[in-house]
Amino acid sequence: MMDPTRKQPVGYLLAFEGLNMGEFLKPDLSLFSPFNTGSAPSYAEAKLDTEKQLISCVGIISNITLPTGVGDPIEIDAYISAANANQIRGKLEKSLTTTTVTKLAWWVCGFDENNKGWYEISHPLDPATVSGQLNARGGGEYHINVQDAVKIGGGIDIAVHPFSFQVIPAADATFNFHRATSMNEKSVIRWGLKIGSAA
């Protein structure tokens, strides 16, 4: 729920596939997005209906930490539907046969107070989606967790499940992420490492 007195950044988990799940997490949430620039996002994975200001996604991001080093994990905390939570929970109740994440995508936008406009803060750039491995905790455990349902609040009787995970880059692969701090200040984060080259 957007705070009408603030234009805070908002983020969406667009894809999470892998772990040999029988079915991948579905983009089963349709949420309002304040990104009202009059045009579609530059990131093609962000399926925004610019007329209705609705975006389809796997989850709403509550926190994202992008890597500062080539091997650092991407950390995402999000809220997902009960159906998607059951998919993850069912997989985690058994021993993971693989920790590979074959497709990860997100999109974060924010409001530039100085230039009075919305802009894209973060998303995968090249390639358009990310692959990697769950980050290990040690002792055969990994940084991935689904919690019990919580109510959205605001008098809305809908519950979502907190979902958190960390992903490190796939071996011998590099990825570029878009990162911006305003409409005019943009940079590229390079992630991963190829043998014999620097990311």
From residue 75, give the alpha-carbon distance in Å to each of 162, 183, 184.
13, 24, 26
- Residue 2: the pLDDT is 53
Rounded to whole angstroms, how far apart are CA atoms 57 and 152?
A: 16
In the 8-state DSSP scheme, what is residue 58?
A: S
Q: Is the model's pLDDT at 115 over the cut of 60?
A: yes
pLDDT at 123 over 60: yes
pTM over 0.85: yes
pLDDT in tens, 178-199: 999 999 999 999 999 887 655 4
Q: How confident is the model at residue 10 (pLDDT cuts 50, 70, 90)?
A: very high
Confidence (pLDDT) at 154: 59
DSSP 65-101: E--SSTTPPEEEEEEE-HHHHHHHHHHHTS--S--EE
Please give the average per-residue pLDDT across 134-148, as a whole number.
90
Q: Are 90 and 83 in contact (CB under 8 A)?
A: no
Whether 13 has a pLDDT exceeding 80, the answer reads yes
Task: Assign 1 a pLDDT band (cuts: 50, 70, 90).
Answer: low
DSSP assigned state of 155: T
- Tell me how far apart the alpha carbons of residues 109 and 55 are, in angstroms, rounded to a whole number: 12
Tokens for 146?
């689904």
